[in-house]
Structure 1
Amino acid sequence: MVAFGKKLKETQIEEWQGYYINYKFLKKKVNQYSRQIENGSGDHLLVLKDFSFMLDNQLEKIVLFMLEQQGLLAKRLSALREQQDTAFQQGTILDVSEVREAYRAVGQDLLRLLFFVEMNAIGLRKILKKFDKRLGYGFTNYYVKTRANHPYSQLQQIFKHVGFGAVVGAISRNLADLQDNEGSYVSIYDQPILHLQDPVVTSIRAAVDRLTNSTNFLNFMGKHAMIMQEDLPSPSQDDVDDQAFDLMSLMLNLMNTFLYMVNTYIIVPTADSYSLSLGAAATVCGAVIGSMAVAQMFSSVYLSAWSNKSYKKPLVFSSVLLLVGNVLYALAYDLDSISILLIGRVFCGLGSARAVNRRYISDCVPPKLRMKASAGFVTASALGMACGPALACLFQAKFKLFKLTFNDDTLPGWFMALAWLVYLLCLCISFKEPPQPECNIVPQESNRGNRTHNAMENGLEQPLLKSSEEKLQDDDDEEGQDFDQCDEDSDESHKPATSIVAAYRLLTPSVKAQLLIYFMLKYAMEILLAESSIITGYYFMWSTQYVALFLACLGLTVLPVNVLVGNYISNMFEERQVLLTSEIIVCIGIVLSFKVGIPYTVPQYVISAILTFVSAEVLEGVNLSLLSRVMSSRLARGTYNGGLLSTEAGTLARVVADGTITLAGLWGESKLLNLTLFPSLLICISSIIATCFTYNSMY
């Protein structure tokens, strides 16, 4: 991975060099401030004022140049329109292909301008993060709070693509009118033209969406998967070598995700009755469900590390563990042993390959397909979550075969054992190990293909010509190289984190707050799901079928909710606004779930459960989407990546939640509901407070 300062130099448009953010100069100033503060000669307020003044000047330079270039593009479009109108009035025939190419040329120049703005936006975010990290000030919070919502905000000019819409619209409309099948539609405003769009228009829309964080269902679901993309864009990503990609291997990877989620939730409706049949308390279901999560905390690390060398072997190993674990889970009934039951679930947890599933998509799927594959990962998880309880609802038979008992408690184990056996055979036959040079974690390479990497190397060997001022800045930066040893933009610091501790040190306060939010929502969801059979059985006398049907319906809300959020809500409001609102709704759902005085009713339980679950789903998608953007680029790849950290946070939440259910069961089922909801409420309130404190850093 190339440092941002070098990347900025390599990708600069030569004639625009003087209008880019002066990243090296700003970095030098941060180093100077840091030295002054350490020596006791720096004043907090003067530093903030001085750096704010410099940033304002940099932003103004960028924005005025951006507006100037937009004007030039608009002038060219106006000239093309006049040319077309004149030809129409005079009855002359235009060369359609020539006009189309002229519009495409404007589109290509617009793409260059969008890339210019995007690189500057990334540079601004990075220098703000660097300032906070180096000096320990909440400068980002101050700067965004005072600049973002001002009526003359330069920040909004950059991050909200002010003025670009009209240019994009003119290019799109005219290129559509010049299509060979002109006349099929009245205009782009009357009918969708997705299948008629010119490639340059598609590229422009993608660039605008990337700059403004606009989403649709597909890329929202992709971000939901927490499969982090490299945060430094490239003007062209079409030169990726994808010959080694195998579709069947990707399908098997996604099938592993689906089966594991089915395996996780298929036992939830019957875990309490299974525990009772083995002589344990019903609330031991918390330990039965949670033991899988405990083991998953360890498997996520060692299987992720294993995937540095191979993908097929850890998938085969995990499938064998899951096969054995489910057999043990089913045999526990005839062996009359709660220990065997727990050991079986531990084996299932040790077989969790979700970290491998993420790594495979991140490292081995071509960039042009990665967003679809990421969305497939989330969809497979959601469908597995819904199918698990639904399948449990179907297993109502009771019979013996070869002295083995098959009933609603053991059939989930036998069914999953058979499913993993079939999957294991398919995996051994059809999965192709990706070529290691393409998928290994090589710190100095990005996954943009050999030609792009070679171009970068050539750029380093033959850098752009520097002015004398730039050379002086380089000399000044060399003076502060002691500080740059731990700098996020040094080559060393762009290597993937090598341990959990190293990864934790890369977390900013806003990222820590978002991981707390992720912990909270997973905790609340696990409490709701894991104790559902006990609560509904105690208060409403629901059977296993009713519980399974209710959980399946909850699971089925995942995809519609993400469609709503991805296509509409996240484009109408800022992600941080949706984040805070969703947390508040989760809190309301938790409060409504408490039993206080009045009899506990089915409508109260169902409404509060739906409110909590759906808002937690909205929160999860938005939180992970935001997290994937603000987390350090060092956590984009490697064993200890952002996906692993979020998985560990979520898994830890499930472990704590299931442990809470088991401990609360010591006071009896009558007090279980309130005792488990109280920690959820405290954690939720804590996450809301943390969000408020770091709100302006989530920009």
Structure 2
Amino acid sequence: MVAFGKKLRESQIQEWKGYYINYKLMKKKVKRYLELIEVGVQNRHNVLKDFSRLLDTQIEKIVLFLLEQQGLLAHRLSDIGQQHHALLQQPNSSNISQLQESYREVGRDLLKLLYFVEINAIGLRKILKKFDKRFGYKFTDYYVKTRANHPYSQLRQIFRHVGIGAVVGVLSHNLADLKDLQKCQGSYISIYDQPSYSHLDPVLDSIKSAVGRLSNSTTFHQYVGRHALIMQEELPSISEDHTTDESQRYHFMSLLLNLVNTFLYMVNTYIIVPTADNYSLSLGAAATVCGIVIGSMAMAQVFSSVYFSAWSNRSYLRPLVLSSIVLLVGNILYAMAYDLNSIWVLLIGRLFCGLGSARAVNRRYISDCVPLKLRMQASAGFVSASALGMACGPALACLLQTNFRIYKFTMNEETLPGWLMALAWLVYLLWLSICFREPPHHDKGNLVPYRANAVGIGPVVQVAVENVHTQPLLMNSETTEQDEDREEEEENDDAAEGAEEAQKPVTSIVVAYRLLTPSVKVQLFVYFMLKYAMEIVLAESSVITGYYFVWSTSSVAIFLACLGLTVLPVNVVVGSYISNIFEERQVLLASEIMVCIGLLLSFHIFIPYTVPQYVGSALITFVSAEVLEGVNLSLLSRMMSSRLSRGTFNGGLLSTEAGTLARVVADGTITMSGYLGESKLLNTTLLPALLICISSIVATCFTYNSLY
């Protein structure tokens, strides 16, 4: 076990060691406070005040050092700028190269400074979480509310890139200017004329990436990629270069096959939605049994996700092969239920489809085998494939409006989705067998630490992520440092703290649950709520539109496809614009309120119930839930324990289970409400969705200041 405080010290830049957050001191303070409270020497109010002062002092030390270093960088840029001005008068190719290297050296030092800020930000989040764990989750709310929301907040300067933009602007402008001077010999093109010039230098790209991690600044693929909840290691490295091991494990065709699996599974999920009610009627059941038909797939997925996630510790190919075979059999059973006239065969077929869900394997492959620099793009591909499948499923159902027989099997709008998906999974199985390459599996408990040496940026930094036998690269020969290490190793922390700080993957759902703070639990509840609301809108659409508007299967399919097609455009707007203007917690709360408004507008209160009311309210609910999902999973990825970034019971599995459970409950609600009659179905299903939504808004308000 490697304590976080020790890892924090190993990650520090040696010459700046005295300016980092003193995590060990504050950890001892927390322990001491507990002892004083237990014996009645201190009360909670005095503890909050004393620890707040300690944190203020630590943050002030960090901020003043940050400002001092920014001043030094600005002074160096001013000196280089004078040389730059002289060079413009008398261009010289050798002097141009020297100036470029001088600017790059400033850029490397700026990257070191950003790394310094990021390490301190992680330390602050960690100690706030530790204090909350010991004292009942009160301190973070108080501290953030009084410090971070203050107009002269020093805390904001730790979590925001204050003053960095000006330095980056000077570097971008002048490097582009020199490049233009070197290539064109005097024809001037400014970065303000061609902004892409700012991304020509690798140092600037690294700085941009580091700034993005410290702020709300995101790109589209970063925002979308977070939907996959593929978590990164808690402590960053200066370099984002992937290791040799990652390169050996990565195979583009295998990644593509994982994304295709994701796409086909989502098509398989939603291709039956427009026709599930008619299929149920054809087999002698009520139309609202479509809730069970649709939800049985999600019900089976609750169990298969855990099994496949555990299996992916040993193999990726074999789970995908079994998944494809089970889905092939499930779709054949679904299609044959019509000629067998059996609702049970239909349900068993959908259960088989759910048991074939390999989304946990798809997510684990990206997390374990894709190099770090490509992981966010791969995560965005995973989410985009899911969104595209969600839109294509109903669209395909719209095209299957026919009726004929082949031998003894009926081919119509109800059975063709099953036959088509069975054929798709057969083709996929053959492709998988030929092209998938099983990556080498290593011992997950003995991973090689990340090594950073970013294009000559200062000292080499090693972050010992999991291998407890690895020695830190930044060694200190002083006896006092060794004594501190021994002292920390000898600390007798309680079992809960040991479980939190151990870097081994969690081994059970119970341990995973214990690692969840109230803020994380609230966000998982929010995720449950949004998936519940989306499933209510989608799964009952065919019954509701048939009852109120007499829509055909094609009309329902087009409506659902249009809803699905809003996913990526909405994410473009939110990821590229909204998330760069507002804080994630602000977008989160606003989205929850919009989901609530959409649900309220959906109720059948006015007579008659009109198409604009239904379509408009469904669009508001669905789009708001999509926006909510992005910021919700982004917050979860940052707030969850680092132990949930890998292993069987990872953060992605927890979110999948929460979302799948929401779909099961929603589909069950539709079927149960059907017993009251189709005239009451709409309001009966919307009422629990509205109550859950209001509850999530209240819970978010109570934990709002901890979402930082």
Q: Identify whether the pair has TM-score above 0.5, normalized to the shorter chain.
A: yes
Deviations for 1:445-473, whole angstroms, at most 9, x for unmatched residues? 557699967898654487324574x6776
Structure 2 residue aligned with 1:201: 204
User: Which of 397, 404, 428 is the matching residue for 2:402?
Assistant: 397
Deviations for 1:2-35, whole angstroms, at most 9, x for unmatched residues? 5432222122222211100001111111111122
Deviations for 1:31-63, whole angstroms, at most 9, x for unmatched residues? 111222334433100100010000000000000
Structure 1 residue aligned with 2:657: 648
How many residues are aligned here? 694
User: Which of 683, 691, 698 is the matching residue for 1:689?
Assistant: 698
Instruction: State the distance in 2 between where 1:388 and 1:248 align.
Output: 24
Q: Structure 2 vs 1, CA of residues 515 and 443 (structure 1 numbering), >3 Å: closer, same or farther?
A: farther
Structure 1 residue aligned with 2:133: 133
Structure 2 residue aligned with 1:31: 31
Structure 2 residue aligned with 1:540: 549
| Matched ranges for 1:295-444 at <5 A | 295-437=300-442, 441-442=444-445
Q: Structure 2 vs 1, CA of residues 6 and 472 (structure 1 numbering), >3 Å: closer, same or farther?
A: closer
Deviations for 1:606-655, whole angstroms, at most 9, x for unmatched residues? 00000000000000011001110111101010000000000000000000
CA-CA distance at 1:244 after TM superposition: 3.3
Structure 1 residue aligned with 2:627: 618
Contact 2:600 2:690 in 1 (8 A): yes
Structure 2 residue aligned with 1:560: 569
Structure 1 residue aligned with 2:220: 217
CA-CA distance at 1:185 after TM superposition: 6.5
Q: Structure 2 vs 1, CA of residues 428 and 281 (structure 1 numbering), >3 Å: closer, same or farther?
A: same
Q: Structure 2 vs 1, CA of residues 627 and 425 (structure 1 numbering), >3 Å: closer, same or farther?
A: same
Q: Structure 2 vs 1, CA of residues 485 and 381 (structure 1 numbering), >3 Å: closer, same or farther?
A: closer
Contact 1:443 1:496 in 2 (8 A): no
Instruction: State the distance in 1 between where 2:13 and 2:490 align.
Output: 28
Contact 1:292 1:346 in 2 (8 A): yes
Contact 1:322 1:347 in 2 (8 A): yes
Instruction: State the distance in 2 between where 1:19 and 1:12 align.
Output: 10
Q: Structure 2 vs 1, CA of residues 169 and 526 (structure 1 numbering), >3 Å: closer, same or farther?
A: same
Structure 1 residue aligned with 2:166: 166
Question: Which 5+ residue runs of structure 1 have no aligned equivalent?
Answer: none
CA-CA distance at 1:277 after TM superposition: 0.2
Aligned to 2:330, the other structure's residue is in SS state: helix
Contact 1:60 1:154 in 2 (8 A): yes
Aligned to 2:675, the other structure's residue is in SS state: helix
| Matched ranges for 1:451-530 at <5 A | 459-460=471-472, 463-466=475-478, 468=480, 477=488, 480-483=491-494, 486-487=497-498, 490=501, 493-530=502-539
2:148 is matched by which residue type in structure 1? Answer: A
Structure 2 residue aligned with 1:64: 64
Instruction: State the distance in 1 between where 2:131 and 2:148 align.
Output: 18
Kindly indicate whether residue 106 of structure 2 is the aligned counterpart of residue 110 of structure 1: no
Instruction: State the distance in 1 between where 2:131 and 2:482 align.
Output: 23
Deviations for 1:394-437, whole angstroms, at most 9, x for unmatched residues? 00110011110000000000000000000000001110000112
Structure 1 residue aligned with 2:458: none
Contact 2:288 2:674 in 1 (8 A): yes
CA-CA distance at 1:315 after TM superposition: 0.4
1:181 is matched by which residue type in structure 2? Answer: K
Kindly indicate whether residue 239 of structure 2 is the aligned counterpart of residue 228 of structure 1: no
Greater shift after overlay, 176-185 or 593-602? 176-185
1:388 is matched by which residue type in structure 2? Answer: G
Instruction: State the distance in 1 between where 2:151 and 2:464 align.
Output: 45
Percent identical: 70
Instruction: State the distance in 2 between where 1:410 and 1:465 align.
Output: 74
1:632 is matched by which residue type in structure 2? Answer: S
Structure 1 residue aligned with 2:595: 586
CA-CA distance at 1:360 after TM superposition: 0.4
Contact 2:6 2:485 in 1 (8 A): no
Instruction: State the distance in 2 between where 1:466 and 1:145 align.
Output: 41
Instruction: State the distance in 1 between where 2:303 and 2:451 align.
Output: 31
Deviations for 1:67-93, whole angstroms, at most 9, x for unmatched residues? 000000000000000112234457777
CA-CA distance at 1:582 after TM superposition: 0.2
Q: Structure 2 vs 1, CA of residues 327 and 185 (structure 1 numbering), >3 Å: closer, same or farther?
A: farther
Structure 2 residue aligned with 1:74: 74
Kindly indicate whether residue 674 of structure 2 is the aligned counterpart of residue 665 of structure 1: yes
Kindly indicate whether residue 285 of structure 2 is the aligned counterpart of residue 280 of structure 1: yes
Instruction: State the distance in 2 between where 1:360 and 1:273 align.
Output: 38
Contact 2:233 2:645 in 1 (8 A): yes
Aligned to 2:405, the other structure's residue is in SS state: strand
Structure 1 residue aligned with 2:99: 99
1:192 is matched by which residue type in structure 2? Answer: P
Contact 2:87 2:96 in 1 (8 A): no
Aligned to 1:433, the other structure's residue is in SS state: coil
Contact 1:185 1:191 in 2 (8 A): no
Contact 2:462 2:474 in 1 (8 A): no
Structure 1 residue aligned with 2:641: 632
Aligned to 2:493, the other structure's residue is in SS state: helix
CA-CA distance at 1:103 after TM superposition: 0.4
CA-CA distance at 1:485 after TM superposition: 6.4
Q: Structure 2 vs 1, CA of residues 678 and 632 (structure 1 numbering), >3 Å: closer, same or farther?
A: same
Instruction: State the distance in 1 between where 2:228 and 2:451 align.
Output: 20
Instruction: State the distance in 1 between where 2:43 and 2:304 align.
Output: 49
2:162 is matched by which residue type in structure 1? Answer: V
Q: Structure 2 vs 1, CA of residues 484 and 118 (structure 1 numbering), >3 Å: closer, same or farther?
A: farther
Instruction: State the distance in 2 between where 1:184 and 1:687 align.
Output: 59
Aligned to 1:153, the other structure's residue is in SS state: coil
1:410 is matched by which residue type in structure 2? Answer: T
RMSD: 2.1
Aligned to 1:193, the other structure's residue is in SS state: helix
Q: Structure 2 vs 1, CA of residues 12 and 476 (structure 1 numbering), >3 Å: closer, same or farther?
A: same
Contact 1:307 1:359 in 2 (8 A): yes
Structure 1 residue aligned with 2:456: none
Greater shift after overlay, 33-42 or 510-519? 33-42
Deviations for 1:271-315, whole angstroms, at most 9, x for unmatched residues? 000000000000000000000000000000000000000000000
Q: Structure 2 vs 1, CA of residues 10 and 340 (structure 1 numbering), >3 Å: closer, same or farther?
A: same
CA-CA distance at 1:443 after TM superposition: 5.8
Question: Which 5+ residue runs of structure 2 have no aligned equivalent?
Answer: 454-460
Kindly indicate whether residue 190 of structure 2 is the aligned counterpart of residue 187 of structure 1: yes
Instruction: State the distance in 2 between where 1:137 and 1:466 align.
Output: 38
User: Which of 234, 240, 243 is the matching residue for 2:243?
Assistant: 240
Q: Structure 2 vs 1, CA of residues 323 and 233 (structure 1 numbering), >3 Å: closer, same or farther?
A: same
Aligned to 1:405, the other structure's residue is in SS state: strand
Structure 1 residue aligned with 2:457: none
TM-score (norm 2): 0.95
Q: Structure 2 vs 1, CA of residues 481 and 9 (structure 1 numbering), >3 Å: closer, same or farther?
A: same
Contact 1:10 1:459 in 2 (8 A): no
Q: Structure 2 vs 1, CA of residues 578 and 392 (structure 1 numbering), >3 Å: closer, same or farther?
A: same
TM-score (norm 1): 0.96
2:605 is matched by which residue type in structure 1? Answer: V
Instruction: State the distance in 2 between where 1:576 and 1:645 align.
Output: 21
Instruction: State the distance in 2 between where 1:250 and 1:503 align.
Output: 28
Contact 2:242 2:373 in 1 (8 A): no
2:154 is matched by which residue type in structure 1? Answer: Q
